[in-house]
Amino acid sequence: MAEIVERCCGHARRLVNGIGALEGAEVLWEPTINQGLLRFGDDARTDRVVQRIAASGEAYFGATTWRGMRAMRVSVCNFRTTDEDIDRAVAAVSGVLRNAE
């Protein structure tokens, strides 16, 4: 069980940091366990990016408000998540950001 928890936490860190390294992304909260927060400019753009990622069908991240700002909540809790899944999710966000207004 500990190995599963550690792997999910590692995937969450890798996912948040991978997305956070993309142009136009900002890490608001780096995971200490398995959840992190990111932002993409202002509130409206952040919401658009979150919606477009979901529409792509490649990944799903929820939107939230944190300290008065809209953010994308990243959580990894499925024991079946792989390194390849993380790579695909980062690529999906990258594609959305390249085409975002």
Q: What's the CATH number where 31 sits? A: 3.90.1150.170
Rg of the chain taking only CA atoms, in angstroms: 13
d(Cα 88, Cα 94) in Å, to the nearest integer?
A: 10
How sure is the predictor about 101, in pLDDT bands with cuts at 50, 70 and 90? low
What's the mean per-residue pLDDT of the chain?
A: 95
Distance of CA 60 to the CA centre of its chain: 8
How sure is the predictor about 57, in pLDDT bands with cuts at 50, 70 and 90? very high
Domain range for 44: 2-99
How many domains would you assign to the chain?
A: 1
pTM of the full structure: 0.94
pLDDT of the residue at 7: 92
